[in-house]
Chains A and B, each alone.
Chain A
């Protein structure tokens, strides 16, 4: 019983430490961002590294996501002859749910993991101490540009990913179900509202904030050399995935 309580206590304390650490990092990032204290050169470098380089993988994911939506809904579309709803169904699912979540998870696996590893390596090779010894604060120099870059990159990637996914849906709809492009497009434009696009973009950008904070927090708290870096990457990806799913539920309830 004592052992169980001790374990429970340690888990709760550890959870509080991680959540508190992320909240504090978020607070300092926000304060520095408001004061305009961040390194613009680092922002541009990270935008390229996190955004531009992610375009091919996000596009490919989005293309097949659109296709999957069509394949999944195809059986019902054919059964009920509801070809006119294909554009709406694909668009609604992609824009509001599947797009932000899948692109978010892909972004977390590629960019979040890389960011945690990058910061973790900087910690174990004393580069972060090196910055501080040169009188440079790590948050404005390292963290704010990364958080901002991830949010901006994710927003742009979502716009691109949504467009590619809808295009993929159109293509697969034509190839697999014989739904012509005009019919798909008309159904999409008639039923999808700007709000649906906005909800998806809001969610995705918030997911990027979660990915940024988890990866920066776990990256900066690395201890124990290369093994510690591996552990921090693992923790960052798991925490980001969990936060994406939990916050998605909350956003979905709030933005119905």
Chain B
């Protein structure tokens, strides 16, 4: 589903070392991967590279068998419309209601000829999606009228409403209380079971991330320093990974 080969991305400040210096990985269809790493290690940037929002200076990115670097703008749009993306800041459109926000990917897919739903069916799907995240009664509200957790759930509903084969979640629980965090992970799990989508998730909540993901990836200093089963992370040969997972003060980090 996703194949990265030798990704190199330079820092905006030329004095700084590259953000990524030769990252290669493969994520198979239906797999659930957690991506972690210390702050400012480029986790969100890697997600944006996979989605084709940022181009690396070197290396190739393949999504669903298409090299994003060689894709025409129309092909790129077609690939992007098959990705559900939950942004760290939710990225809800301020000028639209909750319902319009959630309906937006469906209407866009309709415009691109990838969705055969009519307006009634779109509204029904949006209602279903909002019911799924427990916000059916908030459809007419503006994003500014919602709490942080509610906004996150709307963003989640928008990411999954078109049932895309690839789901990318960037910090889906950042800044949320433990109960809301548990609810969000429960929703992510339900969605994954329902759609069998390939899922890539970035989170600083390492324990929750490991519980949710079959496979863990960790980036550190521009390289992938861990790529393996979630359960084996504690016993990694890398002292960086062990320290990060255990949250210890002493160590190379």
User: Known interface pairs A125-B89, A126-B88, A126-B89. Does A133 touch B83 (Cβ–Cβ under 8 Å)?
Assistant: yes
- A130 pairs with B108, CB closer than 8 A: no
Of chain B, the residue at the smallest CB distance from A133 is B85
Q: Is B87 among interface residues, defined by CB-CB distance under 8 A?
A: yes
Chain B residue contacts of A45, Cβ below 8 A: 95
Q: Is A136 among interface residues, defined by CB-CB distance under 8 A?
A: yes
Chain A residue contacts of B95, Cβ below 8 A: 45
Chain B residue contacts of A136, Cβ below 8 A: 108
Q: Mark B33-53, 1 if CB is under 8 A from A, else 0.
A: 000000000000000100101
Q: Which of B94-128 contact A (CB under 8 A)?
A: 94-95, 104-105, 108, 112
Q: Is A254 among interface residues, defined by CB-CB distance under 8 A?
A: no
Q: Is B150 among interface residues, defined by CB-CB distance under 8 A?
A: no
Q: What is the bound-complex CA distance between A131 and B92, given in angstroms?
A: 10
Chain B residue contacts of A17, Cβ below 8 A: none
Q: Which of A126, A129, A133, A135 contacts B112 (CB 8 A)?
A: A135
Q: Which of B64-95 contact A (CB under 8 A)?
A: 73, 76-78, 80-81, 83, 85, 87-95
Of chain B, the residue at the smallest CB distance from A42 is B95
Chain B residue contacts of A122, Cβ below 8 A: 94
Of chain A, the residue at the smallest CB distance from B101 is A130
- A134 pairs with B78, CB closer than 8 A: no
Q: What is the bound-complex CA distance between A130 and B73, given in angstroms?
A: 17
Q: Mark A102-145, 1 if CB is under 8 A from B, else 0.
A: 00000000000000000001101111011111111100000000
Q: Which of A1-60 contact B (CB under 8 A)?
A: 45
- B108 pairs with A135, CB closer than 8 A: yes
- A126 pairs with B78, CB closer than 8 A: no
- B51 pairs with A130, CB closer than 8 A: no
- A126 pairs with B80, CB closer than 8 A: no
Closest chain-A Cβ to B45's Cβ sits at a distance in Å of: 11
Chain A residue contacts of B53, Cβ below 8 A: 129, 132-133
Question: A-B pairs with the 4 shortest C-beta distances?
Answer: A130-B91, A135-B77, A126-B91, A135-B81
Q: Which B residues form the contact surface with A (CB < 8 A)?
A: 48, 51, 53, 73, 76-78, 80-81, 83, 85, 87-95, 104-105, 108, 112
Can you offer 13 A-B residue contacts whose CB atoms are under 8 A?
A: A122-B94, A126-B88, A127-B92, A129-B87, A130-B87, A130-B92, A131-B93, A133-B51, A133-B91, A134-B85, A134-B105, A135-B81, A137-B77
Task: For the A-B complex with A127-B92, A129-B53, A133-B51 known, give 15 more contacts whose Cβ atoms are closer than 8 Å.
Answer: A45-B95, A121-B94, A122-B94, A125-B90, A125-B91, A126-B88, A126-B90, A127-B91, A130-B93, A133-B85, A133-B87, A134-B80, A134-B105, A135-B112, A137-B77
